[in-house]
Amino acid sequence: MALSVQSPAAPPRNPGPRWGFGFLRRADAVLPRPVFDFLLGLGTWVAVAAMPGPRRASRAYLATVRGRPAAWTEVWRHFLEFMQTLMLIGRVSAGQPYRCALAPPGDAFAALMASGQPALFGTFHFGHSDLLGFMLGEFNRKVHMIRLRVENSTDLEQLAEQRGGGIAFLWVNEPQAMLFALKAAVQSGASVAMKCDRLGHSAKLEGFDFLGARRLFPFTIYHLAILFRRPVMLCVSVAHGPTDSLVHCSPLFEPGEDGRDAAFARARTHFQEFLHRVETLLRDDPYRWFNFLPLNPPASP
């Protein structure tokens, strides 16, 4: 979910100084919550001013989803929502209780969890979705999360340690090694969780309708599903109180026995229908979208 920046000369890292997230977590632990929230709001204004790329992307996205130019206060609120979510991850990694509930209809997700069947879980840089992998771990599932390792943030690794040994990471920073690790993870019977919205680390792209245009999205999860005969479940999570979230899930996609072309046709329908659901959630609250990058580019005809 992080606002990552990358250059050829340095490993990717979150914006700000290397000590920034550690400082925020220490301040959060010692300051009264109203004081910390006030200072976080001030610091967010600094981030808006100091980060022209994410700021432009936020304004363009908000204008697209709302159909009008975005005010500076709306961009600030978008940044602040992201910072508050990062702080939530830090608090949960420090032991704060956190609960997930299923938005209806959640029957397919509940049945998949009860079955113990390994699956591929897809999500987006959206709301509280970074915590979904740890919810899966609570169902006694071994889950490998595909992530971009960043230099100055270790909250997810700490959260994985705090939640027990069911969570592992596959780092996309080394794509050749990651491919072997991914194959080994799937063949071991583990579930795999990955993001399905950014183009940077996916070679399989297809066009889907999203926010008024036909845009390119990664389609890798379905290629893996058909290759390894694994079902796909798409999920996003939204705030539902200070320490709770509401999880929205797709129906279960099964590779089936109707042939490769038919399976991919069903996969496209499955992904498009869930994108429509995500779009509805964004029009209800646009600040849930944490891709501080230009919107996915239009697909060629």
Domain range summary for the chain, segments of one domain joined by +: 5-288
Tell the residue number behind the tokens 């700021």, with chain if given: 55
Cβ(233)–Cβ(105) below 8 Å: no
What pLDDT does 18 receive?
62
pLDDT tens profile 156-173: 555 555 555 567 777 666
What pLDDT does 268 receive?
97
Q: What is the pTM of this model?
A: 0.85
What pLDDT does 173 receive?
62
The order of strands in the sheet holding 191-195 is 99-102, 244-249, 232-239, 120-123, 191-195, 143-147, 167-171
What pLDDT does 9 receive?
41
- The ranges of the chain with pLDDT < 50 are 1-11, 152
Beta bridge partners of 10: 7
What pLDDT does 1 receive?
40
Nearest to 122 by CA among 138, 143, 104, 140: 143
What pLDDT does 7 receive?
37
User: Is residue 226 packed enough to be buried (19+ CB in 10 Å), middle (13-18) or exposed (0-12)?
Assistant: middle
CA–CA dist 156, 264 (Å, integer): 33
What pLDDT does 2 receive?
37
